[in-house]
Amino acid sequence: MNKVIKINPNDNLVVALENLKKGEIVSVEDQKITLFEDVLQKHKFALDVLKKGDSLFMYGVKVGIANQNIPRGAALSTENIENAFNENISFNNVGKKIALNQSKNKRYFMGYPRKDGTAGTQNIWLFFPLVFCENRNVELLKTLFEREFYPDKLHDYQNFLRTLIQGKTETVTTVKTVNPFPNVEVRFITHHSGCGETRADSTALGRLLAGYVNNPNVVGATVLSLGCQNLQVDSFLEELKNINKNFDKPLLIFDQQKVGNREKLIQKIIKDSLVEIKKANRIQRQKTHLSRLIIGLECGGSDGFSGISANPTLGASIDKLIAQGGSAMLAEFPELRGVEQELVDRCVDESKAKKFIHLMEAYENRVMAFGSDFSTNPSPGNIKDGLITDAMKSAGAAKKGGSSPIVDVLDYGEYIKNDGLNLVCTPGNDVESTTAMAGSGANLIIFTTGLGTPTGNPIAPVIKVSSNTDVYKKMKDIIDFNTGDIIEGKQTLKELSDNMIDFIIQVASGEKTTKASKNRQFDFLPWKREISL
């Protein structure tokens, strides 16, 4: 195993693959570098003598500026490097990116067919409110349905607590039950929006929820309305029509103020929903070409290895998916700041490229209006594990998108229209971003992490991918796939990306269940761009 890695020939930063000591001599290509000081694993050191004001490069991208003279072999930190972004974006190379050759080796997964030609990786009946006032009713329905559909895990925890309360030494085991409708899942969403905010935020929520209903993984939905909220039923239905004018999935809508009595409301919701759930259970998985997969790309709890192992492996897998005619979404705009030129050059036309830059600038201006900027994006955990600047974090995060041309740029809440790689404007916040991609049509999400995270989604399976073997072994209960073998030199990028495609197919086919789904970690967090009123 090599001790260090220089990622791009043009880099003047080198990554430590293990803890290195002051005075240690390491080989970087044809050079011998004597380390000026200790360098922690995942952190970077200077390949050359750097003067104050010099640019620092990693992945071939400018990721920072030296704010003082830095000796050769010195460690980089927030003390001697400042964030730097590449400005003066050029559109001269837009449209020149050559599309990937389509694969002749057709691959398939077992998906749930929809009348509009799409296919689900799951078959979900979804319950959600148009306004937070209905959260309590949704939570009651969730309790009732989950006790009948998925009681085992709930009972295990309940019996553990009961054992402790009663002072017993042995936990009572539960009788295992079977889901009465094995071909359908019931999922529930609650949120804190729909009223009391600007009309723009209510409209955005309606568009997001419409995207969830239209998502291929959702077979139908039960929608709860109070009646007087900002997000009216008609507004929600209009957003649904804008996404899909031929929408024909079963949709049950209940207005509490019209029904009046809560007991009658809950009973009617249960009765009517159960009728549709039984119908949904008749739908069977069918052999489906991989072109029907739409994968959302996410990273969170990133470390200094994320951009070397997990993200490039995912990017290579996505290139293979797109070569099959499939689609992907690269989101988290604060974590694309610094690599705009590379992404602009990959856009299929200038209108897409300019939309990307416009959305990026508008987002950053909004952040700056609140007294901050994108340079504050790296979290304390990111910085501790080697991601010193936002541009450095972005350069690694962008690797999730592989090398395909960018066919479209979507604002938050816009639904996917074009096959291939799409950019989606979302925050870097893990749950806000995964929430948005599912609302834009992703029927599966892949989430890379170097530190570990439990995040899941109510309607899209979330495959968790670790950048290093240590976190994979420590957190196997929440992580599905390990790319640490690249760091350890045990597997190549091609081998791991081939394995990842196989794993994706197994999850999409229902042969494997993600850890997030097993743990019933179904996170939903709409992005509020405006303010509460």
Which of left, alpha, beta for 157 (phi over 0: left; psi -120 to 50: alpha)? alpha
pLDDT above 80: residue 171? no
pLDDT above 80: residue 163? no
- Residue 148's pLDDT band, with cuts at 50, 70 and 90, is confident
Q: What is the mean pLDDT of residues 455-461?
A: 98
pLDDT above 70: residue 172? no
pLDDT above 70: residue 156? no
Closest CA to 211 of 255, 242, 186, 254: 242
Cβ atoms of 313 and 493 within 8 Å: the answer is yes
Alpha-carbon gap, residue 389 to 65, rounded angstroms: 10
User: What integer pLDDT is reported at residue 381 of this predicted model?
Assistant: 83
Q: What is the mean pLDDT of residues 438-448?
A: 98
pTM, entire model: 0.93
pLDDT above 80: residue 376? no
Please state at what angle helix 135-149 crosses helix 151-166, rounded to 10 degrees.
Answer: 90
Alpha-carbon gap, residue 101 to 93, rounded angstroms: 20
Alpha-carbon gap, residue 337 to 69, rounded angstroms: 26
Q: What would the pLDDT profile of 302-326 be if each residue is shown by its tens digit?
A: 999 999 999 999 999 999 999 999 9
Q: Tokens for 83?
A: 């964030």
Alpha-carbon gap, residue 434 to 439, rounded angstroms: 9
pLDDT above 90: residue 162? no
Q: What is the mean pLDDT of residues 453-478?
A: 97
Beta strands in 75-230 (DSSP E): 81-82, 108-113, 119-120, 124-129, 185-188, 218-225
Q: What would the pLDDT profile of 413-427 be if each residue is shown by its tens digit?
A: 999 999 999 999 999
User: What integer pLDDT is reported at residue 126 of this predicted model?
Assistant: 98
- Residue 384's pLDDT band, with cuts at 50, 70 and 90, is confident
Beta bridge partners of 58: 61
Q: Which of 11-25, 114-128, 238-252, 382-396 has the lowest mean pLDDT?
A: 382-396
Which of left, alpha, beta for 263 (phi over 0: left; psi -120 to 50: alpha)? alpha
At residue 212's C-alpha, the angle toward residues 412 and 295, to 5°, is 70
Q: What is the mean pLDDT of residues 108-122?
A: 97
User: What integer pLDDT is reported at residue 1 of this predicted model?
Assistant: 67
